[in-house]
């Protein structure tokens, strides 16, 4: 199963849900199928689950989607434990597990040996934890997660992207992202997107804060 095919299915299903996306080819491929200010690129491996959890707790009436990688989620297993503790009903955590650190040369991750992400998530208290190995199963589980209360964890077992020819635009997208995407700019665009969805201010500026009466 190829991650890019899963992402194309997901992009058609999630509507305007905010997405927290790990760096590397996860981001590159997702940006090519769902370019939006509603995507937050996370360049620190492992933080997607924690950021997604915070958004889910702060926006409890809206589905929050996290698109993660196996290497990234293994760097912050505490994120799974905290999700299991907090039980956010609106969080969908998708991990594309290709069993390597793809963006940094292909070093194997622990899932290439004996770590099982679905079982780790279940052990952390995330009862709706699944492993899928084909696109149709991925689509079915994601559809169920969008319709039901969570939290949901989906480990999608995929092949490394660079070994395939189904991504003719990948180099063009990478070049565009290097020019267009800046962490600070992405952050503020994402916050404005959230403010538009919620109809309320998230950022406050000193000039907007009224002094308290003495």
Domain boundaries, the chain: 3-208
How far is Cα 42 from Cα 93, in angstroms, rounded to an integer? 14
CATH topology of domain 3-208: Rossmann fold (3.40.50)
Best mean pLDDT range from 41-45, 92-96, 106-110 = 92-96
Positions of E strands within 102-213: 107-108, 128-132, 152-157
Whether the per-residue pLDDT at 177 is higher than 80: the answer is no
Tokens of 213: 């009466």
What gap in Å lies between CA 138 and CA 9, rounded to an integer? 9
Mean pLDDT of 105-128: 93
Q: What is the pLDDT of residues 24-70, one digit of tens each?
A: 889 989 999 999 999 999 989 899 999 999 999 999 999 999 999 99
The average pLDDT across 61-84 equals 96
Range of lowest pLDDT (134-148, 168-182, 198-212): 168-182
Predicted local confidence at residue 179, as pLDDT: 47
3-state class of 88 per DSSP?
A: coil
43/149: higher pLDDT: 149
Please confirm whether the linkage preceding 151 is cis (ω < 30° from 0).
yes
Task: Work out the average pLDDT over 152-180.
Answer: 65
In angstroms, the CA 112 to CA 6 distance is 21
Is the overall model pTM greater than 0.85, yes or no? Answer: yes
The per-residue pLDDT for 25 is 87
DSSP string, 176-192: HHHHH--HHHHHHHHHH
In this prediction, residue 165 carries a pLDDT of 40
Percent of the chain with pLDDT over 90: 72
What average pLDDT score do residues 7-11 get? 97
- Phi, psi (rounded to 5 degrees) for 88: -70, 120
DSSP three-state, residue 23: coil
Instruction: Please state the φ and ψ torsions of residue 41, each to the nearest 5 degrees.
Output: -85, 130
């Amino acid at each position: 199963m190829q991650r890019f095919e899963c992402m194309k299915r997901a992009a058609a299903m999630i509507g305007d849900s905010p997405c927290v996306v790990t760096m590397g080819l996860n981001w590159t491929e997702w940006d090519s199928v769902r370019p939006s200010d509603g995507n937050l690129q996370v360049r620190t491996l492992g933080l997607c689950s924690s950021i997604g959890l915070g958004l889910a707790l702060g926006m409890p009436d809206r589905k929050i989607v996290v698109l993660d990688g196996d290497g990234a989620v293994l760097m912050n297993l505490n994120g799974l434990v905290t999700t299991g503790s907090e039980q956010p009903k609106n969080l969908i955590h998708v991990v594309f597990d290709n069993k390597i650190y793809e963006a940094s040369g292909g070093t194997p991750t622990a899932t290439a040996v004996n770590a099982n992400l679905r079982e780790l998530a279940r052990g952390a208290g995330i009862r709706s934890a699944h492993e899928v190995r084909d696109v149709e199963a991925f689509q079915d589980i994601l559809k169920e997660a969008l319709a039901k209360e969570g939290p949901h964890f989906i480990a999608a077992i995929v092949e490394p992207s660079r070994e395939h020819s189904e991504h003719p635009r990948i180099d063009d997208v990478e070049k565009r992202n290097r020019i267009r995407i800046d962490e600070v700019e992405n952050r503020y665009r994402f916050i404005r997107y959230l403010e538009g969805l919620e109809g309320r201010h998230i950022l406050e500026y000193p000039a907007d804060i009224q002094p308290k009466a003495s």
